């Protein structure tokens, strides 16, 4: 944002008096400076009725009306029951056949005896065999005869016809002396005396009718049914406060202090007034960032135009913008110079 400072000297006012128009600040004397500043927004707190809950309709139900009564109800139906009467028995004795008469056949096996017998394995026969001990030239005495005959001998073979006895063997054999046979034997029937139960009267089924069972019970009888009624519920409002803008917030010309129409002593006086008002800053006669921050904080706290050292702000601090500087300002600058 560009700050436009306009310093009007007395000589310029005389020369430009006829050229003044609505775009210039309303200066009426020499030594005044003006700047366009935003005027503080003027607000007003108003109260309003706000709808919190709209009007509704509720339904009220009137419950039904009942009375006590009694009623006879059947709790168990009639039914037919079948009862079984068991049979009646008596004990009797009787003779029963345990085993019938039968014929038993016994087989008598055959009878055998053992005997020995000589059997011919090889029969007797006549065979040729070589003879031995022959009497003659080639026999036992043949050597002597041969010597007498000048050593001549006979070498022919001697065969004899002999009987070879039969070969036998004793064997054991068995033979049947009596053939197998059967023998029949009649076995008579066997009886036993037993005790048994005899039915005297057979079992039977008897039909019995069981009557129904009734009870008296209490009941509630509705005399009047439930009813519904519609009830209007009014709307609910609450009071709220809100701020509305009544004015301000527009740029306008405001008289300000600048280097043209003020001195270091006046700045020191304003710095001292800011510190006394609770917005401390350095009292050195130089309008620096610290002094600017203290000034803007004071302006916001007091609802003044923020941003420039306006004459309105200076007078709010109790300082005459164009008067003689205070002794405290002189003392502060003197101490700084020392």
State the DSSP string of 47-104.
Answer: EEEEEEE--EEEEEEEPPEEEEEEEEEEEE--EEEEEEEPPEEEEEEEEEEEE--EEE
DSSP reduced 3-state for 331: helix
Q: Distance of CA 39 to CAs 26, 50, 283, Å?
A: 16, 32, 28
More confident residue, 276 or 336: 276
Q: What integer pLDDT is reported at residue 246 of this predicted model?
A: 67
pLDDT at position 206 over 70: yes
Stretch 296-309: mean pLDDT: 88
Q: Where are the domains of the chain?
A: 6-42+247-337, 85-109+180-201, 111-178
Q: What integer pLDDT is reported at residue 249 of this predicted model?
A: 66
Centre a 10 Å sphere on the Cβ of residue 255 and count the other Cβ atoms it contains.
Answer: 19
Dihedral angle of Cα 221, 224, 225, 227, to the nearest 10 degrees: -150
Stretch 126-149: mean pLDDT: 61
Stretch 188-207: mean pLDDT: 86
pLDDT at position 221 over 80: yes
| pTM of the entire predicted model | 0.38
Q: Distance of CA 305 to CAs 19, 150, 251, Å?
A: 29, 203, 10
Q: What are phi and psi of 265, to 5 degrees?
A: -65, -40
Q: What integer pLDDT is reported at residue 293 of this predicted model?
A: 93
When pLDDT is cut at 50, 70 and 90, the band that residue 16 belongs to is: very low
Q: Which residues pair with 208 in a beta bridge?
A: 81
Dihedral sign of CA atoms 311, 316, 321, 323 in order:
positive
Q: Which residue has the tokens 């022919």?
A: 156
Q: Which residue has the tokens 């002396």?
A: 177
DSSP reduced 3-state for 212: coil
Q: What integer pLDDT is reported at residue 15 of this predicted model?
A: 37
Percent of the chain's residues with pLDDT above 90:
7
Dihedral sign of CA atoms 28, 32, 38, 40 in order:
negative
Structure tokens at 267: 């700045």
DSSP reduced 3-state for 335: helix
Q: What is the mean pLDDT of the chain?
A: 79
CA distance 197 to 199: 7
């Amino acid at each position: 944002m560009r700050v436009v400072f306009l310093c009007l000297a007395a000589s310029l006012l005389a020369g430009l008096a006829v050229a003044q128009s609505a775009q210039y600040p309303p200066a009426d004397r020499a030594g005044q400076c003006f700047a366009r500043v935003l005027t503080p927004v003027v607000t007003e707190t108003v109260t309003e009725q706000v709808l919190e809950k709209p009007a509704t309709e509720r339904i009220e139900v009137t419950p039904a009306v009942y009375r006590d009564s009694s009623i006879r109800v059947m709790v168990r139906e009639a039914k037919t029951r079948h009862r079984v009467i068991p049979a009646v028995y008596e004990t009797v004795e009787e003779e029963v056949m345990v085993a019938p008469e039968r014929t038993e056949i016994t087989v008598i096996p055959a009878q055998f005896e053992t005997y020995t017998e000589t059997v011919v394995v090889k029969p007797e026969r006549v065979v040729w065999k070589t003879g031995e001990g022959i009497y003659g030239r080639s026999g036992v005495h043949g050597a002597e005869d041969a010597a007498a005959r000048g050593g001549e001998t006979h070498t022919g073979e001697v065969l004899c016809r002999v009987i070879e006895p039969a070969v036998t063997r004793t064997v054991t054999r068995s033979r049947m002396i009596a053939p197998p046979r059967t023998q029949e034997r009649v076995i008579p029937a066997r009886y036993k005396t037993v005790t048994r139960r005899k039915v005297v009267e057979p079992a039977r089924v008897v039909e019995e009718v069981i009557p129904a069972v009734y009870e008296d019970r209490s009941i509630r009888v509705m005399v009047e049914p439930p009813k519904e009624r519609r009830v209007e519920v009014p709307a609910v409002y609450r009071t709220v406060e809100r701020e509305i803008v009544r004015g301000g917030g527009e740029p306008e010309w405001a008289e300000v202090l600048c280097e043209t129409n003020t001195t270091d002593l006046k700045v020191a006086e304003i710095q001292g007034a800011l510190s006394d008002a609770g917005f401390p800053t350095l009292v050195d006669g130089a309008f620096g960032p610290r002094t600017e921050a203290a000034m803007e904080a004071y302006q916001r706290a007091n609802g003044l135009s923020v941003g420039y050292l306006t004459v309105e702000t200076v007078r709010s601090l109790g300082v005459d913008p164009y008067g003689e500087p205070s002794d405290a300002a002189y003392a502060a600058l003197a101490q700084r110079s020392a």
